[in-house]
């Protein structure tokens, strides 16, 4: 009985601590992430974004909460990559130790799994990108590096554009974005060479306003 009371008190203290610091860190993170684009979001692009992604703002928390629990939700939305990294890690951890989502043990296992996933991610980035990546770039001939750099951006952007068009549920917005991009790249930039420095920002803002 005494052990059960101690466990209940420990879990209560855990909930109180995660709720307090979770709110504080989420508010701080929200402030810094929105401080720069606040004007753009609220005066230009909010309507277009809300029309396309507004449902996700409601659906994602409702679908994640039964699996992650309150404390893990703070971690997940602060770290990011929830659906493709943190949520699978939590589900695998719960399945491995044989606990059900939505229980106290399931919530604690999700916390530990998310901590582990974040630690592995940061460690792998440090080793394979920070250390080995820097060394690899230093030994590759300069002409090969320049060639790779020249083709990386078109390759990545091409894949992202195709994926965005395929998954686009608002064809009008996609058409507007395509037209604006063509005008900026093939009309404005050739006519005004100095305009290339601001072309991306102008294209994004113009697409948001028109959409």
Confidence of residue 116 (pLDDT cuts 50, 70, 90): very high
Higher-confidence residue of 94 and 195: namely 94
Lowest mean pLDDT among 92-101, 146-155, 164-173: 164-173
The residue-averaged pLDDT of 8-35 equals 84
Burial class of residue 204, CB neighbours in 10 A (0-12, 13-18, 19+): middle
Residues 54 and 27: their CA atoms lie apart, in Å, by: 20
pLDDT digits (tens, 9 = 90+) for 119-161: 998 898 888 888 887 788 788 888 887 887 788 777 877 777 7
Contact 86, 111 (CB under 8 A): no
Q: Is the pLDDT of residue 114 over 80?
A: yes
pLDDT value, residue 168: 64
């Amino acid at each position: 009985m005494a052990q059960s009371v101690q466990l209940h008190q420990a879990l209560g203290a855990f909930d109180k601590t995660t709720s307090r610091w979770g709110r504080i860190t989420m508010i701080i993170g929200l402030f810094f992430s929105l401080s720069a684009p606040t004007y753009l979001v609220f005066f230009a692009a909010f309507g277009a974004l809300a029309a396309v992604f507004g449902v996700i703002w409601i659906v994602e928390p409702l679908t994640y909460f039964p699996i992650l629990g309150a404390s893990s939700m703070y971690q997940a939305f602060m770290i990011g990559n929830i659906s493709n990294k943190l949520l699978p890690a939590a589900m695998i951890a719960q399945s491995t130790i044989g606990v059900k989502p939505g229980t106290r043990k399931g919530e604690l296992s999700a916390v530990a799994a998310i901590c582990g996933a974040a630690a592995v991610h940061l460690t792998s980035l440090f080793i394979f990108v920070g250390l080995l990546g820097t060394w690899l770039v230093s030994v590759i001939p300069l002409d090969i590096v320049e060639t790779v750099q020249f083709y990386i951006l078109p390759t990545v952007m091409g894949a992202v554009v195709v994926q965005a068009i395929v998954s686009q549920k608002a064809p009008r917005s996609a058409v507007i974005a395509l037209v604006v991009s063509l005008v900026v790249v093939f009309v404005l930039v050739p006519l005004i060479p100095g305009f290339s420095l601001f072309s991306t920002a102008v294209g994004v803002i113009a697409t948001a306003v028109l959409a």
